[in-house]
Structure 1
Amino acid sequence: MKSKVILLIYGSGGHKTQMEKFLDNIAKEGLDLNISFIGITESGVSINNSKIIESFEQPAFRNKYFSLMSLVKIPKKYYNFIACFLKIRKKYEVLSVISTGPGLAIPFSILFKRGNSKIIFIETWSRFETQSYAGKVMYRLADKFYIQNKSLVKFYPKAIYSGLL
């Protein structure tokens, strides 16, 4: 039987800080979830937290679009992405994917949503007057979409205002 996990997808800088605050809030609320977390992050920015049982570092996906030509060539970052997805799928039952922002969340969310995982996206707290690229895509994909600044409701009318993490 596979272990049940929640994927945490975050990037460097503010994305990482927000994910750390998310994990701290879970601990402060006394939510003793009997669920472990798997971290998926950009290279070199993994969070050290006892609830995260395994981390997978991925090369940054700075290109906004996946081109078919680059998939044919299967560069290293796509190979790493595919290998990571297959390893997680084989070893764990992913209940949910939670992300604080980077574009890295998009391909993983698409694939795990096909496996009936719930997708939760938290638009970064640094956005007040513009949408992030990941936010634009994830708003249509996520089961729950949270904004941390009320000014974003004009872009995301069905989003849930959560306040800052």
Structure 2
Amino acid sequence: MPKDCQPKLLLIYGKGGHKEQMKRLLSKMQEQHAFKFISMADVVDEFNAIEHLQCPEPRDKFHLWKAPWQLAHISAVTLIQTIKLLKRHNITGIVSTGPGMAVVPSLIFRLLGKKVVYIESWSRFYTASATGIFMYRIANQFYVQNTTMLDKYPKATYSGRL
């Protein structure tokens, strides 16, 4: 399949608050710029992406013994999906509101010199999320939505609430 050379963003989000935050961010971004995007989430696409990859969350919060196997499996699946996306599209960067499924694609994009933007959850006031801890080291731009999180992420940018 030939590569589509029109620049696109990869938006990665999860269900619940992650999706709501992406919905608000996407609305604000589309007010200012016209752009094409691909989405990767653990939910069905509701944002009319040109392509959507459904990817399950890499960990099971309720079954500790299952977590390492699930993490390895989902990481491999996400790696393969990301490589296929890069072959089919000219993706210039990633914007993510979490969850953990964003780590593998973000790492790949950074290794390829592409832009990675991460927005820590608005529900975080005093503790860093597991995804946030990794993404703080990976992302080109890291945003927090609560000023109290600047203690946990000193190089982050306070963006206010979405």
TM-score, normalised relative to structure 2? 0.85
* Dislocated runs of 4+, deviation >3 Å: none
**Separation in structure 2 between the aligned mates of residue 162 and residue 79 of structure 1, nearest angstrom:** 33
Question: Which amino acid counterpart does residue 128 of structure 2 have in structure 1?
Answer: Q
- What is the correspondence of 1:72-91 to structure 2 with a 5 Å cutoff? 75=73, 77-91=74-88
- Cα distance in 1 for residues equivalent to 2:76 and 2:51: 19
Q: Displacement, 1:79?
A: 4.8
TM superposition score normalised by structure 1: 0.84
Question: Aligned match of 1:5 in 3, 8, 22?
Answer: 8
CA shift in 2, pair 1:154/1:4, >3 Å: same
* Structure 1 Cα separation of the partners of residues 76 and 124 of structure 2: 32
Residue 21 of structure 1, aligned match among 18, 21, 24: 24
Contact 1:8/1:37 (8 A) holds in 2:
yes
Sequence identity (%):
37
Q: Deviation digits for residues 42-74 of structure 1, max 9, x if unmatched? A: 1xx133224x2111011220169xxxx959xx7
- Name the CA distance, whole Å, in 2 between partners of 1:60 and 1:137: 15
Contact 1:94 1:112 (8 Å CA) reproduced: no
Partners in 1 of 2:152 and 2:134 — Cα distance? 12
Query: Residue 86 of structure 1: CA displacement?
Result: 2.1
Structure 2, unaligned stretches of length 5 or more? 62-67
| Counterpart AA for 1:112 | F
RMSD (CA atoms) = 2.1
List per-residue Cα deviations over 1:86-110 (Å, max 9, x = no partner). Answer: 2101111221111102011101100
Give the drift of 1:19. Answer: 0.3
Structure 2 counterpart SS, 1:104: helix
Partner of 2:39: 39
Once the 2 structures are TM-superposed, how far is the Cα of residue 11 of structure 1 from its aligned partner?
0.7
Unaligned runs of 5+ in 1: none
1:143 aligns with 2:140: yes
